[in-house]
Copies of this chain bind each other. A is one copy, B any other.
Amino acid sequence: MSAITTLSIATSGRGLTEITDQVAAAVSHARLDEGLCTLFVQHTSASLVIQENADPAVCRDLEAYFQQLVPEDSGLWTHTAEGPDDMPAHVRSALTQSNLSIPILSGRLMLGTWQGIYLWEHRRRGSARRVVVHAK
């Protein structure tokens, strides 16, 4: 059986989408007792992050902070052909992560009590984002 699954995640604009359930399902299919789950996003204007999944305000505040930290009108951008939100999206991707690794024990992701796995869309318009799951 392959250790690799590819998820397609629909996003609807800038912000975080929780994907813990989809990743947990892929890990469950791998039927591992113990192992390591590695996620990789195949885009440079979206990223992956572990964050608190108890209060939705956390994700909204993260998005608000990143919009202020990496403004569209910074005066720095020369890569503008794909729109004013594209270069900020690349920077936001560099400031976060393209990959995550989470140990697996007793067949389950070893996430902390309040941790969720998020795909962070950095473009204004949403799209379908591919996240590769490697569990072994």
Contact = CB atoms under 8 A, between A and B. Distances in A.
Copy number in the complex reads 3
Contacts of A51: 44, 90, 93-94
Nearest to A88: B65
A53 to B, nearest CB: 9
From A90, A94, A97, name the one whose CB has the most chain B CB atoms within 10 angstroms.
Answer: A94
Main secondary structure of the interface of A (DSSP, over half): mixed
A128 interface: no
A29 interface: no
B98 A100 contact: yes
A36 B38 contact: yes
Contacts of A132: 103, 110
A115 interface: yes
Interface of A: 2-4, 34-36, 38, 40-44, 49-52, 55, 57-58, 60-62, 64-65, 68-70, 74, 76-79, 81, 87, 90-91, 93-103, 105, 110-115, 130, 132, 134, 136
